Amino acid sequence: MPAIFGPAANLYSKVTLVAILLLALLGLLFWWVWPRTDYARHMHLALEQAVPFSHQHHVAGLGIDCRFCHVSVEVAANAGLPPTYTCMTCHSQIWTQAALLEPVRHSLATNTPLVWHRVTDLPDYVYFNHGIHLAKGVGCSSCHGDVASMSLTYKAKPLTMAFCLDCHRNPGPQLRPREALFDTAWRRDARTPSPAALLALYHVPDRNLTDCSVCHR
């Protein structure tokens, strides 16, 4: 009776098993690595917006303060986006016929808000309050990066749970003096108060010394 499997059958079976194992390992590697890539986290990707607004031009170039447009950032959970009237404060006088600003003029004429695509979109189960973070010494760039240098706005930090917890577990190094809160190019130097001094200034408790009963009652 002739053999059902030829001499090469053992080789083929071994190659098949190795291939299946490699595919499984690659699948696990993809499952682990892909969510941690900048692309999956939508980092460093400038979204198409109604108007290609340049923070680099308006903030770094013209010196416009963050709060001129984001008026509620110090007092509310949401930083707020400027209404068309804010844009037209300047653009009713300069660049009045620029084609780039036609959506802004149309928005004003029709009383229809501009539609902006959210750059830092947190999950629905996350509650983030801009006001309390600024009040406790966390500057804009800690979460948003050096926005003043961005010609088009993009997500600069991962904003994952680990990112947030790293700061909440040891907030001192992330704090800065009040005058530097809105300076997105600020860097800690020899003149910067120590983390312990900033924790005391902003009345932020040391997480390592907090009594467990404060949260677990």
Q: What is the pLDDT of residues 68-121, one digit of tens each?
A: 999 999 999 999 999 999 999 999 999 999 999 999 999 999 999 999 999 998
Q: Among all chains, which residue has been given the structure tokens 């749970």?
A: 161
7 pLDDT higher than 50: yes
Beta partners for residue 155, in sequence order: 43
In this structure, which amino acid lies at residue 139?
A: G
User: Closest Cα partner for 138 from 98, 111, 175?
Assistant: 175
Per-residue model confidence (pLDDT) at position 63: 95
Quick one: angle between helices 102-110 and 84-91, nearest 10?
120
What does the DSSP 8-state code read for residue 175?
Answer: B
Per-residue model confidence (pLDDT) at position 1: 57
Half-sphere exposure of 214 (CA within 13 A, CB side): 8
Q: Residue 18: exposed, middle, or buried by beta-carbon count in 10 A (0-12, 13-18, 19+)?
A: exposed
Where residue 217 falls among pLDDT bands split at 50, 70, 90?
Answer: very low
Angle at 138 between CA 132 and CA 142, to 5 degrees: 130
Specify the 3-state DSSP secondary structure of 49.
Answer: coil
Residues 6+ apart with CB under 8 A from 36: none
User: Closest Cα partner for 148 from 160, 136, 159, 139?
Assistant: 139
Beta partners for residue 205, in sequence order: none
Per-residue model confidence (pLDDT) at position 214: 43
Q: Among all chains, which residue has been given the structure tokens 């959210």?
A: 118
Q: What predicted TM-score, i.e. pTM, was given to this entire model? A: 0.80
Residues 6+ apart with CB under 8 A from 183: 139, 141, 148
CA distances from 194 to 168, 181, 187 (A): 17, 16, 13
Q: What is the pLDDT of residues 158-203, one digit of tens each?
A: 999 999 999 999 999 999 999 999 999 999 999 999 999 999 999 9
In this structure, which amino acid lies at residue 31?
A: W
Q: Residue 79: exposed, middle, or buried by beta-carbon count in 10 A (0-12, 13-18, 19+)?
A: buried
Per-residue model confidence (pLDDT) at position 212: 45
Where residue 49 falls among pLDDT bands split at 50, 70, 90?
Answer: very high
